[in-house]
Amino acid sequence: MAATLLVSEFFHRGGKHQYCRILGFLSISFVTVAMIWSVVLLIYAIPLHLETPVALLRSAMALWATNILVFAVWYWRLDAGGPHQRSARPGHTDGAFLFPQMTIPITVENACEKELWSPQFVDYLFLAFNTSTALSPTDVPVLSRWAKGLMMIQSTISLAVIALLAARAVNIL
């Protein structure tokens, strides 16, 4: 993973962003598969009582937080062509997500502000946090099929971690 980061930095400094994009997708794909495998291991470990309750709780919390971060990165990298393509445009008028800022009507007073608005990583992090917490999007409607699919996967992972953790906690009590 560290080697990928170093190679990516080399390409970034050389202006070869298409290679950075490919390496970024490979890295986040690897982390996603590892996270899903960790959820499978958690599901396997709970009924067999292979781990202590404290270790299970720590693992579940780590997986839940990882789920949020991984999917925030996916949304950030895929929406409207990714961060480089979004920053190359004067505003964020299309994409897979309809952020509230995109629905504010343009008036003379806010024309410059509205035109320059574009979602940043924290906007996608907020979206991913809400998806993992509420198991659905909250203030950001989902417009594309790929985004709906990713959000279903994220919600399923979060539900599995939370439900299994709750079931184990009730069993311990």
Q: Are 92 and 140 in contact (CB under 8 A)?
A: no
pLDDT, residue 113, reads: 56
163 belongs to a structural domain: yes
Percent of the chain exceeding pLDDT 90 equals 32
- Band of residue 109 on the pLDDT scale cut at 50, 70, 90: low
2 belongs to a structural domain: no
- CA 169 → CA 36, 76, 159, distances in Å? 22, 34, 15
5 belongs to a structural domain: no
The arithmetic mean of pLDDT across residues 60-66, rounded, is: 91
d(CA 83, CA 95) in angstroms, rounded, equals: 12
The arithmetic mean of pLDDT across residues 44-63, rounded, is: 82
| pLDDT tens digit sequence for 11-22 | 777 877 788 888
pLDDT, residue 136, reads: 80
Structural domain span for residue 148: 52-172
71 belongs to a structural domain: yes
28 belongs to a structural domain: no
4 belongs to a structural domain: no
Find the distance separating the first CA and the last CA of the chain, reported in whole Å.
Answer: 40
pLDDT, residue 32, reads: 95
34 belongs to a structural domain: no
159 pLDDT more than 80? yes
pLDDT, residue 170, reads: 63
pLDDT, residue 1, reads: 65
31 belongs to a structural domain: no
145 pLDDT more than 80? yes
**Does 163 or 173 have the greater pLDDT score?**
163
CATH assignment at residue 106: 1.10.287
pLDDT, residue 125, reads: 95
Number of domains in the chain: 1
